[in-house]
Amino acid sequence: MFYREAGDFKTSYRDDAQTFPIAFDRLRYYLVLAVALGVIPFMINDYWANAVIVPFLIWSIAAIGLNILMGYAGQVSLGTGGFMAVGAYATFKLMTSFPDLNIVIIVVLSGFITAGVGVLFGLPSLRIKGFYLAVATLAAQFFLIWLFNRVGWFYNYSASGQINAPERTVLGIAVTGPASPPWAQYFICLFFVLVVAWMARNLTRGSVGRSWMAIRDMDIAAEIIGVNPLKAKLTAFAVSSFFIGIAGSLFFSVYLGAVEVGEAFGIEKSFIALFAVIIGGLGSIFGSFAGAAFMVLFPVLLKNILVNGLNWPTDLAAHIQLMVIGGLIIVFLILEPHGLAALWRVIKEKLRLWPFPH
Amino acid sequence: MKDGMDTDAEGYLTADGRKIGGVLMEMRNITLRFGGVVAIKDISFDIREGEIRAIIGPNGAGKSSMLNVINGFYHPQEGEVWFRGQKRGSVRPYDVARMGIARTFQNIALFKGMSTLDNIMTGRLTMTKTGLLSQALWWGKAEAEETYHREKAEKIIDFLEIQHIRKTPVGRLPYGLQKRVELGRALAAEPKLLLMGVVMDLSDRVVVMDYGRKIGDGTPDEVRANPEVINAYLGVAHD
């Protein structure tokens, strides 16, 4: 199979603006989709769903959300964990207040609520940039966790301070709660991943995405050509938080089931999303998937090799994992700031010329 | 006009026979201060439709400050800006862009991470009507709008002969091509008034500034003969 765009002429601007302009890319995309819909649901078991696939899907959504904000609009955020917590607690409150409301609608509503909170904490971005904004979003992270810990209303005054997801069904099949089968958890997460990725792609290829990137690349020039910085930054915060809220909602209701906020949505979750975006590639939807896959799969892989394969003690393996991920982040920041997505692009450019590179 | 050529309300004919229309923009007694520094001192001039108007002057004369006033970056302490027969209130630069004023910079201000096409398409952002939701879903209207603006952008790409770099990130382009892309971005906005941060010898009328004051206004020939202008550029002879 030759990977070529030669001879693949576009006769309309609509065709040229499509997500996968190269026929081979399109084919590969449909192939992945076919595997995701037709193969994985039949193979999936408890271990794969819990350890690998469901967290990968949820972190992909979170990474896409953070990538909108950081990669496309250029606004640094360390508040991802806090915003995920907003999505989770919004879901909990909606689930317990409206037991008859469909879980899909609840997840979407939780996204909207998180978007509102995100806009609120995005307001400082109009005045401050870079590190200072990062610190402001860090404040959001700690404030939100504190709020959900302290104010009993958020966890319905339960004695443990935990929140638990009751069972909810889609088309008669449980997708939340302890009785939900792994394939149903997988499907509902996959559904949201597809919708979020599609929406993110649409936004970033159109004029909204251009106004974000214009603000990112040179805010003064963006203003001169008519981008309202207030609107561009706040829509970026809103869309980003909407996606992150959905991720938090699924993380709580489908994946964990029971959540203690400081443990489930602490600062280290903000860093997982941040590393996924940095390793995967800033300003790339594909990079968000690659980064999420790396952050979820790598620890599992390492643990399997070191503990199960080499019979090393578990704590040693865990420490090695921390060191290797830390080292890799430094390597990526220095050698390839655009992450796995850039490596993928290089491979594609080489493939374009293969096997006659001269 | 207290000095310069005779320009009536209907306009005038240039030396090469182009018809210049009525007043498009008028600056009235603009004074701009930064603390104690007076950057622009009581300057008035007008710009007419179809006219190539230059603002020249030695370093630090206040040319860029004047452009930034027109752009809405600086807000003068005194004076009025009139655009298309209306007095402009307190505006932000993006409001000014919406009124139809575009600008290119002396040291290129492109969006380096974006492709040539995307840079030019940003020039059309002020004309976007579809909202966030319909763009997220890429509904018919959002897509039709995108295609419409793409056609306009492609005309500019053809005009500037930059088809081959359509999808190249502009950060990788040499200076000359970047300059063309920047002009393309400004043209894509279909501006009524285009401000260009470059020196050119095509002007119909020239405003000359020095130390924030206006020291001359007229055709290039008139300005060249103006003793104050000669003094500003070459210095005053003391003997």
Output the DSSP codes for B169-180.
Answer: BGGGS-HHHHHH
pLDDT tens digits, A132-174 = 888 999 999 999 999 999 988 998 888 888 888 888 888 888 8
At A240, which amino acid appears? S
Pick the residue of A225, A239, A338 with the most B CBs within 10 A to test the interface with B by mutation. A225
Q: Which of A253, A248, A343 is nearest to A294 (CA)?
A: A343
CA of B235 vs chain A CAs: smallest distance (Å): 36
Measured between alpha carbons, how far is A58 from A247 in angstroms, rounded to an integer? 5
The ipTM of this complex is 0.84
pLDDT at A9: 66
pLDDT > 50? residue A97: yes
pLDDT > 80? residue A40: no
The token pair at B3 is 């000095």
Among candidates B92, B112, B125 on the partner chain, residue whose Cβ is nearest the Cβ of A207: B125
Give the pLDDT band of residue A3 (cuts 50, 70, 90): low
- Tell me if B125 and A218 make a contact (CB, 8 A cut-off): no
Contact B168, B157 (CB under 8 A): no
Among candidates B126, B142, B154 on the partner chain, residue whose Cβ is nearest the Cβ of A206: B142
Which residue do the tokens 């290829």 mark? A205
Determine contact: B133 vs chain A, CB below 8 A: no
Give the pLDDT band of residue A1 (cuts 50, 70, 90): very low
Determine contact: B144 vs chain A, CB below 8 A: no
Would strands B53-56 and B205-210 be described as parallel, antiparallel, or unpaired? parallel
Measured between alpha carbons, how far is A296 from A204 in angstroms, rounded to an integer? 25
pLDDT > 80? residue A125: yes
pLDDT tens digits, A180-228 = 888 888 989 999 999 999 999 999 988 999 999 999 999 889 999 989 9
What is the arithmetic mean of pLDDT over A99-122? 94
pLDDT at A238: 96
pLDDT > 50? residue A177: yes
Half-sphere exposure of A98 (CA within 13 A, CB side): 12
Blockwise average pLDDT, block size 10, chain B, 239 residues: 49 80 90 91 91 86 90 91 89 91 86 91 88 83 87 91 88 89 91 81 84 88 87 78
Tell me the chain A residues in contact with residue B115 when contact means C-beta distances shorter than 8 Å: none
Among candidates B92, B128, B135 on the partner chain, residue whose Cβ is nearest the Cβ of A203: B135
Determine contact: B185 vs chain A, CB below 8 A: yes
pLDDT at B212: 87
Q: Chain A residues with CB-CB distance to B under 8 A?
A: 12-14, 16-17, 199, 202-203, 206-208, 210-211, 213-214, 216-218, 220-229, 235, 239, 283
pLDDT at B200: 64
* Higher per-residue confidence, A232 vs A8: A232
List beta partners, residue A258.
A164
Determine contact: B21 vs chain A, CB below 8 A: no
pLDDT at B30: 92
Determine contact: B142 vs chain A, CB below 8 A: yes
List beta partners, residue A174.
A169
Which residue do the tokens 């790409």 mark? B157
pLDDT at A180: 82
DSSP result, B11-59: BEE-TT-PEE-SEEEEEEEEEEEETTEEEEEEEEEEEETT--EEEE-ST
Give the pLDDT band of residue A273 (cuts 50, 70, 90): very high
Tell me the chain B residues in contact with residue A215 when contact means C-beta distances shorter than 8 Å: none
Would strands B101-104 and B37-48 be described as parallel, antiparallel, or unpaired? unpaired
The DSSP output letter for A19 is S
Measured between alpha carbons, how far is B80 from B77 in angstroms, rounded to an integer? 9
**Three-class SS state of B90:** coil
Residue of B nearest to A236 (CA): B132
| pTM metric for this prediction | 0.87
Q: How many other CB atoms are there within 10 angstroms of residue A254's CB atom?
A: 27
What is the arithmetic mean of pLDDT over A57-74? 94
Contact A247, A234 (CB under 8 A): no
Which residue do the tokens 């400081």 mark? A262
- Tell me if A207 and B105 make a contact (CB, 8 A cut-off): no
The domains located in chain B, with CATH, are 1-100+194-239 (3.40.50.300), 109-191 (3.40.50.300)
pLDDT at A60: 95
CA of A322 vs chain B CAs: smallest distance (Å): 33
pLDDT > 80? residue A357: no
Measured between alpha carbons, how far is A102 from A233 in angstroms, rounded to an integer? 32
The DSSP output letter for A257 is S
List beta partners, residue B37.
B34
- Tell me if B124 and A207 make a contact (CB, 8 A cut-off): yes
pLDDT at A282: 86
For A12-16, A316-320, B167-171, which range has the lowest pLDDT when averaged over its residues? A12-16
- Tell me if A206 and B135 make a contact (CB, 8 A cut-off): yes
Q: Which of B218, B194, B188 is nearest to B120 (CA)?
A: B188
**Three-class SS state of B206:** strand
Give the pLDDT band of residue A8 (cuts 50, 70, 90): low
What is the arithmetic mean of pLDDT over A24-44? 79
